[in-house]
Amino acid sequence: MKQCTSCGAINSDHRSVCVDCGKRLGKPLSEEQANAVEEHLRKNTEKLYQGEDPLHIGLLDKIVGGLCILGLFLGLCLWLLGFVKEDGVGTAIGGLLAFFFGALESLAPELMWELEEMRLELFVHDATPCGMSFIFRRVAQVLTFLIGVVAFLIALFG
Ligand SMILES: [Zn+2]
């Protein structure tokens, strides 16, 4: 890897002039320097992809989170009032758990990310939430809410 001294562009070893500005290139970087440059580039790329903070709590999060909390309370009330059928107890518990996790995922994304980070620690270090975790979070929120609703419909009427 060669780095242009006049514009900073990264060039491959076999180039003699800079791909960006056309200036003559010097000697290739040492392995240590090359690693530092790569690390820097990787971080910049990651930042680009993050765009919006994936852990930001937006309007949709508040709506879904609110619905999940509502479902949690409504479900608990219906259960305590004896509306859950005898063979629907397991399903009702599943529904409550789904609402609970939906609410956490929506309103406490940093907590959920910390859990995810603990899991990721097994494979990678200093992980940061990326664009994909933004989408996963959205999907998880809506899915857990829907699962909660369906579970309760089954527990009450199934
Ligand atoms: Zn250059």
Condensed to tens digits (0 to 9), the pLDDT of residues 87-103 reads: 888 999 999 999 999 99
Q: Which two tokens stand for residue 85?
A: 């059928």
Q: Return the H-helix or E-strand segment holding 2.
A: strand 2-3
Distance from the alpha carbon of residue 10 to the mean position of ligand 1, in angstroms: 8
Residues in the chain: 158
Q: 12 alpha carbon to ligand 1 midpoint, in Å? A: 12
Residue 17 has pLDDT above 90, yes or no: yes
Partnered with residue 140 across adjacent β-strands are none
Compute, in angstroms, the gap from residue 97 CA to the centroid of ligand 1.
Answer: 57
Gap from CA of 72 to ligand 1 centroid (Å): 60
Tell which residue, 144, 143, 150, 155, has the closest CA to residue 76: 155
Cα(3) to centroid(ligand 1), Å: 8
Instruction: Show the 3-state SS of 23-60.
Output: CECCCCCCHHHHHHHHHHHHHHHHHHHHCCCCCCCCHH
Reported as a single tens digit per residue, the pLDDT across 123-149 is: 776 677 666 777 888 888 899 999 999
The Å distance, Cα 99 to ligand 1 centre, comes to 55
Res 54 pLDDT > 80: no
User: Phi, psi at residue 24, to the nearest 5°?
Assistant: -65, 140
Is the whole model's pTM more than 0.75, yes or no? no
Distance 28 CA to ligand 1 centre (A): 14
Calculate how far, in angstroms, residue 89's C-alpha sits from the geometric centre of ligand 1. 68
d(CA 40, CA 145): 40
Under a CB-based contact definition with an 8 Å cutoff, are residues 78 and 96 in contact? Answer: no
CA of 46 to the centre of ligand 1 (A): 24
Rounded to the nearest angstrom, the distance between the alpha carbon of 27 and the centre of ligand 1 is 14
d(CA 132, CA 56): 14
